[in-house]
Amino acid sequence: MAEDLVLDTAIRDWVLIPLSVVMVLIGVLRHFVSKLMRTSSQLPDPKIVKEGQVIIRARNLRAAANFIPLKSFRARKVYYSNEENGLLFVPKGQAQNAQAQMFSDPNMAMDMMKKNLSMIIPQTLTFAWVNFFFSGFVAAKIPFPLTQRFRSMLQNGIDLSTVDVSYVSSRSWYFLNLFGLRGLFSLILGEENATDDTQRMMQMGGFGFDPSKSLSAEKDGLDILQHEWALPKFEQRAETVLRKLVS
């Protein structure tokens, strides 16, 4: 490298380390704040809980179908999916769509907004803080070479084309922290931390809001299931084992 920059040690002591520590601490704070907000919500609707339990039971049946005789399996299948009063059968028209349900239940929208806000507010605040105090200088250097394409990503806030690309501006160091600390958070905060909330919300979108759809999907799954008994010879096997034990 022709032009090695000399970075002041004060940058390390007053930018690099504080920035990283603050990012970690803000992540922890956000985790506990969102936890506090979540516990204040009211009990879930019993109907939704009931439907979820039915789905879980049907799924268990589907997973373990091959361990019970054909007759028992048929009886259970009818119990779940017959067209008149099966547990998984949803009458047409009764299925309310997700939008209507969301409007009828303002708490749900409120909850989502709270979650979103607890995501967005700390991020904007930290970003503003970083921008205000630490904008416009090189804070770090990544230990591997990169192509020119990464310049806009890693040297956000510095408009010099002669600086080597592997030098990282403080604003970009913030972004690196934002993405890279996810693993650390999952280690120190356990599995249910606030950073994972976005992913969970995406998963919940189909499930929590429109249970009738997942009910009918489960019903279809049961209907097309081929039953094949996995233990056709288990009586003989048991007999031989027992005989061996006795003799």
Partner 1 sequence: MAGSDGSNGSKEKSNDFANELPSYNAENMQSNMKVIYYSRTFMSIIGGVIAGILGFTGLMGFVFYFLVMAITSAGIAAKAGFSVHLYFDSWNLIILDGFLGGLMSFVLFWTFAYDIVHIF
Among 18, 44, 69, 183, binds partner 1 (CB under 8 A): 183
Phi, psi of 139 (to 5 degrees): -115, -25
Closest distance between partner 1 and the C-beta of residue 117, in Å? 26
CA 114 vs CA 192, 193, 223: distances in Å: 17, 15, 40
Which residue bears the tokens 């049907």? 58
Q: CB under 8 A: which stretch of 93-101, 137-145, 193-201, 213-221 binds partner 1?
A: 137-145
Torsion over CA of 28, 30, 32 and 34, rounded to 10 degrees? -150
18 binds partner 1 (CB under 8 A): no
**What is d(CA 58, CA 80) in angstroms, rounded to the nearest whole number?**
7
- Cβ atoms of 79 and 87 within 8 Å: the answer is yes
Closest distance between partner 1 and the C-beta of residue 5, in Å? 9
Please tell me the count of residues contacting partner 1 according to CB under 8 A.
28
Q: CB under 8 A: which stretch of 78-86, 108-116, 118-126, 180-188 binds partner 1?
A: 180-188
As a whole number of Å, the end-to-end CA separation of the chain is 82
- Cβ atoms of 197 and 38 within 8 Å: the answer is no
Closest distance between partner 1 and the C-beta of residue 181, in Å? 7
Among 61, 130, 158, 168, binds partner 1 (CB under 8 A): 168
16 binds partner 1 (CB under 8 A): yes
Q: Is 3 helix (H, G, I), strand (E, B) or coil?
A: coil
Q: In the range 55-84, which residues lie near partner 1 by CB under 8 A?
A: 63
Closest distance between partner 1 and the C-beta of residue 14, in Å? 12
Q: In the range 206-235, which residues lie near partner 1 by CB under 8 A?
A: 230
Phi, psi of 64 (to 5 degrees): -105, 20
Among 182, 205, 207, 223, binds partner 1 (CB under 8 A): 182
Closest distance between partner 1 and the C-beta of residue 34, in Å? 21
9 binds partner 1 (CB under 8 A): yes
Give residues with Cβ within 8 angstroms of 148, minimum separation 6: 165
- Cβ atoms of 27 and 178 within 8 Å: the answer is no
Q: In the range 98-127, which residues lie near partner 1 by CB under 8 A?
A: none
Phi-psi region of 82 (alpha: psi -120 to 50; beta: other; left: phi over 0): beta
180 binds partner 1 (CB under 8 A): yes
Among 69, 145, 205, 206, binds partner 1 (CB under 8 A): 145
Give residues in contact with partner 1 (CB under 8 A). Answer: 7-9, 11-12, 16-17, 20, 63, 140-145, 168, 176-177, 179-184, 186-187, 191, 230
